[in-house]
Copies of this chain bind each other. A is one copy, B any other.
């Protein structure tokens, strides 16, 4: 926990930005919910529990800042709002999402299963890959068993 916060602080300071109390609050909420994929408004509501004075715009600006610093990244699960998760960091380790279309649960698949596919795309299409995003929709174990 603590180390992560310090890590973020250093990351920001390295480019002349700071981890203000408000930003740290946002970071803490993200950390405490790293198993979820919170939307900006959900972060806002959770931040407000700790500090009711914080404005929604600040949350949006902080999330944008964190995205730009590769601390988190934003994903779109098709529900009309961006959601955030801690990024894979600099090590380019991607992960994928299984989205249950019944209960809305999101299951993370940590292994990167696309290596073979990426090779082919690179070779056959002359396309140099920077990033990818795989979403698999279906029914999770719980929801398919009924």
Contacts and interface: CB of A to CB of B under 8 A. Distances in A.
Chain copies in the assembly? Answer: 2
A42 interface: no
Contacts of A118: 136
A69 interface: no
Given A98-B121, A117-B114, A133 B137 contact: yes
A122 to B, nearest CB: 9
Nearest to A122: B138
Interface string A114-146: 101110110001111111111111111100100
Contact count band on A: 20 to 34
B136 A121 contact: yes
A113 B109 contact: no
What are the nearest 8 A-B pairs in CB distance? A126-B141, A129-B138, A130-B138, A113-B117, A132-B136, A131-B137, A128-B144, A133-B135
10 contacts: A76-B76, A114-B117, A114-B134, A121-B136, A125-B141, A129-B136, A129-B137, A130-B139, A131-B137, A133-B137
